[in-house]
Amino acid sequence: MDKFLYGIDFGTTNSALAIYNEESREIAHTIIIPSLIYFYEQRNSDGTPNFVVGEEAISAYLNEGMKGRFIKSVKQVLSRSSFTETRIQNKRYTAADLVAIILKELKGRADSLIGENCQKAIIGRPVFFDDDNVQKDTLAQTRLSKAAELAGFNEVRFQFEPIGAAFAYERTLSKKENVLVADLGGGTTDFTYLVLNPEKANSKNRKSDMMATGGIYIGGDSLDAAFMWERGTPYFGKHTQYEATSGKRLTVPKSLFANICSWEQMNFFNGPRIKKDIEDYYYFSGKNRKFKNLLTLIENNLGYSVFRSIENTKITLSGANMARFSYQEMDIEIDEEISLPDYEQIIAKDVNRIANYLDQFLLQHHIEPTNIDSLFLTGGTSLVGSIQKLFKERFPHVNLNSGDNFKSVATGLAYSGYLFEK
Ligand SMILES: Nc1ncnc2c1ncn2[C@@H]1O[C@H](COP(=O)(O)OP(=O)(O)OP(=O)(O)O)[C@@H](O)[C@H]1O
Ligand SMILES: [Mg+2]
């Protein structure tokens, strides 16, 4: 038997790895890094690719004046057949190549902690990578599998992320329970309903304990996009008018601003035609400086830094009634107060979609709330006040538990060694 195996939670926002010692049956270490890559503007002088991963990617992006390519939320392109490759520093990168960079970073850090080249991993995957579409889902898992191979793993199993979270929670229990697990991350919200029993924690077959799994493609990124749409885009020209023909005033089409609310779109929103359109709006709106802000934003790759401010506002509001939405860079100047009720209004549509999905999930799988013994919430987005309220309202008599919101999935994946048993 190998001595170690890795549980890897490759997340939209954060990626974690738990090292499991199969002899002592304990987690030896956990590592977590932001799922970010920054490619410098120039290759290394010897021609090799020049990039940094994780926390360092943020500082490199800011220090280099945001000139290179910043890769965020790469997990979201895994299921897109339209994404085949991207050129960076004159080299082609497929989705699997980009994911492999993050997995390799985690593997490298873990291998140096144990002093071995561990090639055995249980990798998490959301219940649905995208909407409930089998082809997209298969494509995503195939790419993730390829990425694992490129990163140096030759024995790989997949496990649903919320089942990973459940197994981490199981280790804290003293008796059998019917548990509803909700993992609310950066990209997706996943549910699983299962029987947890600490006495079965190391057993080989857990299939019969899994009663239902499901998920929806909404997470923290969606909340940040909603905020950008409502509160960010007005600084970049939404709601402004321009004079199309003499005397005829029109409002700039809202569709223009959808491009700066998501990461994927922002990456491709920098062509000469788009810039020409924005320059036209600038002149025909009487030189409204908001269009200059929009040009500054896209020409200087400021997207990540604006979204960081949005995320900070959200995180502050997870523990306070008021936060500032503040951003100053070049000629862009944003500084306003956001109250918690305002924020809750902005994200209400997404929270309702999660609530509706949850109701449908319970109905479809004939889960009676009275049969649920406890709830386990994990993932960064589970810290949002309206999300917690949603679960408290739906299940007023059920205990709401949480553990480490960012590491529980990886930990539980590492406890899933039974997947290797024949
Ligand atoms: N205190 C907080 N309050 C609200 N949201 C938070 C907080 N801390 C982190 N987040 C959000 O949680 C999300 C990241 O959570 P997590 O690390 O669980 O996601 P992930 O595992 O990378 O994503 P996924 O599982 O969807 O692939 C981000 O959207 C982040 O902004
Ligand atoms: Mg996650």
Helices 289-299, 303-317: crossing angle, 10 deg rounding: 100
Residues 6+ apart with CB under 8 A from 291: 236, 237, 240, 278, 279, 281, 282, 285
231 lines ligand 1 (CB under 6 A): no
CA nearest to 347, candidates 384, 304, 306, 303 = 384
Strands 322-329 and 399-402: unpaired
386 lines ligand 1 (CB under 6 A): no
pLDDT band at 99 (very low <50, low <70, confident <90, very high): very high
Contact 300, 62 (CB under 8 A): no
Residue 272 has pLDDT above 90, yes or no: no
Ligand 2 midpoint to CA 130 (Å): 14
Residue nearest to atom 10 of ligand 1 (CA): 380
Which tokens in the block code for residue 393?
């309202």
Written as one string, the DSSP assignment of 95-111 is HHHHHHHHHHHHHHHHH
Any idea how long the chain is? 422
Tell me the per-residue pLDDT of 147-162, one tens digit each, with 9 for 90 and over. 999 999 999 999 999 9
Cα separation, 112 vs 134, whole angstroms:
38
Ligand 1 midpoint to CA 272 (Å): 34
Tell me the per-residue pLDDT of 275-331, one tens digit each, with 9 for 90 and over. 999 999 999 999 999 999 999 999 888 888 899 999 999 999 999 999 999 999 999
Residue 271 has pLDDT above 90, yes or no: no
Neighbours of ion ligand 2 (CB under 5 A): 11, 185
pLDDT band at 264 (very low <50, low <70, confident <90, very high): low
Contact 375, 396 (CB under 8 A): no
Residue 270 has pLDDT above 80, yes or no: no
* Residue 375, number of CB atoms within 10 A of its CB: 19
Cα separation, 236 vs 25, whole angstroms:
54
User: pLDDT averaged over the chain?
Assistant: 94
Span 65-94, average pLDDT: 90
For the chain, give the percent of residues with pLDDT over 90. Answer: 85
Q: What pTM was estimated for this model as a whole?
A: 0.94
Tell me the per-residue pLDDT of 331-359, one tens digit each, with 9 for 90 and over. 999 999 999 999 999 999 999 999 999 99
Of 19-23, 130-134, 152-156, 263-267, the one with minimum mean pLDDT is 263-267
